[in-house]
Structure 1
Amino acid sequence: MFTHTIKVEIQFGDCDPAGIVYYPNYFRFFDNATAAMLSAAFAMHKRNWLDHYGIAGIPMVDTGARFIKPSSFGDVVEISSEITELGRSSFGVKHSLLRDGDLAIEAHEKRVWVVRDDNGGIRSAALPDEVRKLLGAQ
């Protein structure tokens, strides 16, 4: 399945008073990594693929992480993101965050492909065949 890697430099504002990344910020990094992965797979920026596919977004319905090593201000980490599963309207993502080449965090997400309904809300929609192909479906 499709994989993509980004680098993130840890900023002062990402850290708590102990000088390490405040854990919710990792989930912000992972959200950005998922968007970057899909942008690479679809060969267009997120603002364009949202419009191109006519979707409202890809909200997260499940997430979790295993924290192994902390990161600090100034560290440059690498986040490798991989599509792990494709459902009818959902997909799984695994993130591996490396610091100095060592695994620091393993995280997972489950996201849903959603469109707007007639009442202005959102509802799940089937992943288009093109998207399935781009993300590595056989």
Structure 2
Amino acid sequence: MFTNRRDVQIQWGDCDPANIVYYPRYFAMFDDSTSILFEAAGCSKQDLVGVYGLVGIPMVDTGAKFYIPSTHGDWITIQSRIEKFNRSSFEVTHKVFKGEALAIEAFETRVLVGRDPADPARLQSVAVPAEIIEKFTRG
């Protein structure tokens, strides 16, 4: 599967009074990393909404294991990849490295959502388009 890596410098606003990253800030970084992963594969989240008529790609499950803390000024590398596509959802993993050391392992499960044609006020899951899967599985 296609993998994307990005470097992030920890900012003052990412840290708590102990000068370590406040854990919800990592989840914002992971959300950004998923968007950047899609862009790097050639289909931005905006493309998914505009081209495929989706309403969004909400997260339905997430979690993380934290091994090494980061502080203001540190540089980390976030490695993101889609591990699996299901009918209407996909599973993303994020590995955060501080130097060569694995600092965090995280995951998220997201689902593609569109309007129900029978009742546009309701939402329903939408099958992942084959073209999108191809962008992530091509060699």
Question: Shift of the alpha carbon at 1:5?
Answer: 0.9
Which residue of the partner structure matches residue 87 of structure 1? 86
Displacement of 1:52 in angstroms is 1.9
Which sits farther off after the overlay, 115-124 or 13-22?
115-124
**Equivalent residues in 2 for 1:37-76 (5 A)?**
37-41=37-41, 43-76=42-75
- One-letter identity of the residue aligned with 1:11: Q
Q: CA deviation at 1:44?
A: 4.6
* RMSD, aligned α-carbons: 1.6
Amino-acid identity (%): 48
- Residue 62 of structure 1 aligns with an amino acid whose one-letter code is D
Asked whether 1:128 is paired with 2:129, we answer yes
Q: Whole-Å Cα distance in 2 between the matches of residues 91 and 115 of structure 1?
A: 15
Letter in 2 for 1:69: I
Q: Deviations over 1:63-83 (max 9, x none)?
A: 110000001111111000011
Partners of 1:48 and 1:130 in 2: CA distance: 12
| Equivalent position amino acid for 1:26 in 2 | Y
Paired with 1:69 and 1:22, the residues of 2 have a C-alpha distance of 13
Name the SS for the 2:102 alignment partner. Answer: strand
Q: What runs of 5+ residues in structure 2 fail to find an aligned partner?
A: none
- The TM-score with structure 2 as length reference comes to 0.91
CA positional deviation for 1:33: 0.3
**More displaced stretch, 117-126 vs 94-103:** 117-126
Matching of residue 27 in structure 1 with residue 52 in structure 2: no
Q: Distance in 1 between matches of 2:131 and 2:45?
A: 16
Length-normalised TM-score, structure 1: 0.92
Cα distance in 2 between the residues matched to 1:122 and 1:52: 17
Q: CA deviation at 1:137?
A: 7.4
